[in-house]
Amino acid sequence: MIPRVRTLTVSGIFTAGHFEYDSTMLFMNIEDAAALFRTGGPMGVRVRVADMQEAPAVAESLMKSLPPGYFARDWTVENKTWFAAVQVEKRMMSIILFLIVLVGAFGLVSTLVMTVTEKQSDIAILRTLGASPGSIMKIFMIQGAVIGVIGVASGVAIGLLIACNLGSIVSAIEAVFHVEFLPQSIYLISGMPSEPRASDIIPIAVFSLFLSLAATVYPSWRASRIRPAEALRYE
């Protein structure tokens, strides 16, 4: 079989940031392509959707309306292995975030327990002045809640700031230390994409706030159980 040869003029070079496309894909005149590959015309149509996550649903709806002999496939099918790896990585990141929040909650518990231990004499004095165990517990609950709210709010703010400028931060680190985090010969992308979504941020922030509030229960209960006579015995 004699290979078909056609002289074409390169008018420009594009970069999509996707190694597979950057190394193998080209755009050419539709008539020249039909003559070169002897197809007689277009062999398919690409549809661009506003939300890439909705591509499987769009492909499924198109399959129902296409006549026999035609099919529709989305990017998750064409890059099934990569998509599965991303899903696994997302689940692992959720587990890691949960462990980080859990460690932070334990740190909050330790801080409040140390505070209760250091303030035993002050708590005992408040009790002798007529403060009820409930009011003592409320004091430390409010203290823990304030720490949790400030921590969650500052964490979300700093995280959003880093996420929105992740590409610039990674590029600066690569330029300073002369390293490449995503080699194009290995990964399908050449840049570090970042798209903060409320559906990902809000559940983590709410869970962190709930866990920080729950972490204040035991130290507050312990503070309310302090007996004034025992606490002031060695003062």
What is the dihedral sign for C-alpha 34, 39, 45, 46? negative
- Average pLDDT for 187-200: 74
Q: Which of 32, 55, 75 is the last residue of a domain?
A: 75
Tell me, yes or no, whether 114 and 225 share the same domain. Answer: yes
pLDDT digits (tens, 9 = 90+) for 126-172: 888 888 989 999 998 998 899 889 999 999 999 899 988 888 888 88
Q: Flag whether 11 is in a domain.
A: no
What pLDDT, on a 0 to 100 scale, did the predictor assign at position 184? 64
Count of domains in the chain? 2
Alpha-carbon dihedral angle through residues 8, 13, 17, 18, given to the nearest 10 degrees: 10
What pLDDT, on a 0 to 100 scale, did the predictor assign at position 193? 73
Tell me, yes or no, whether 148 and 175 share the same domain. Answer: yes
Distance CA 20, CA 185 (A): 9
Q: Flag whether 13 is in a domain.
A: no
Residue 227, domain extent? 80-231
Backbone angles phi, psi at 127, to 5 degrees: -65, -40
Distance CA 220, CA 228 (A): 16
Tell me, yes or no, whether 54 and 93 share the same domain. Answer: no
When pLDDT is cut at 50, 70 and 90, the band that residue 10 belongs to is: confident
pLDDT digits (tens, 9 = 90+) for 65-111: 888 888 888 877 877 787 788 788 888 988 888 888 888 888 888 88
Tell me, yes or no, whether 91 and 57 share the same domain. Answer: no
pLDDT digits (tens, 9 = 90+) for 20-58: 777 788 888 888 888 888 777 777 888 888 887 788 888
Distance CA 113, CA 218 (A): 8
Tell me, yes or no, whether 154 and 89 share the same domain. Answer: yes
Tell me, yes or no, whether 89 and 201 share the same domain. Answer: yes
Q: Flag whether 55 is in a domain.
A: yes
H helices of the chain, where?
19-24, 30-37, 55-65, 75-78, 80-118, 120-128, 133-164, 166-177, 198-214, 217-224, 228-231
- Determine contact, residues 108/147, Cβ cutoff 8 Å: yes
